[in-house]
Amino acid sequence: MNITLHILGKRVHITDAAPKVIAAGILFVADDEILIMKRSEDSNNPGLWDLPGGKADDGDKSIRATAIRECREECGISKDFDRYVDAIKEIAHTIDGQADYTTFMLRVDKFEPKLSPEHSKYKWVKLHELPDDLHPHLRDTLEALVLELL
């Protein structure tokens, strides 16, 4: 599979595959843990752990707006979330034949998401405690970020 990873502004691999979906999500970081959510059996990639996020809508003004809207929908985040918008940082951009996916990061105080039907559970985990059944996109992004930092 051809994949292009743009990590912290650096291109890791180039592909000529045109993405079918434009999407984004947010890596929420609280102290030394990240928020992951398990996809419900009725969603795409059922049973896999992933970040809150999803596909861009026609009404989204930017990919950042997509990430914020999706996290509101999937985590039950209130309008108060708007005060954090300036602190959201783009950390990765992954393109493959299926999707053009932008990952943002936001440091927060730990919160309890109100799950939408798209997810069956959530948990805050340390990076060394990640489950094996991670969505491949999330696994690739986290591995690339770790390699970038080394």
Task: Give the tens place of pLDDT for each residue, 100-129.
Answer: 899 999 999 899 999 999 999 999 999 889
Each domain of the chain, given as residue ranges in start order, spans: 3-149
On the question of pLDDT at 63 being above 90, the answer is yes
Q: Which residues contact 33 (CB under 8 A, 6 or more apart)?
A: 110, 124, 125, 126
Q: Are 19 and 99 in contact (CB under 8 A)?
A: yes
- Pairwise CA distance, residues 144 & 12, whole Å: 9
Q: Give the model confidence (pLDDT) of 68-98 as tens digits.
A: 999 999 998 877 777 777 899 999 888 877 7
pTM: 0.83
Q: Which CATH fold topology does 3-149 show?
A: Nucleoside Triphosphate Pyrophosphohydrolase (3.90.79)
Asked if residue 96 lies in contact with residue 15, where contact means CB atoms within 8 angstroms, the answer is yes
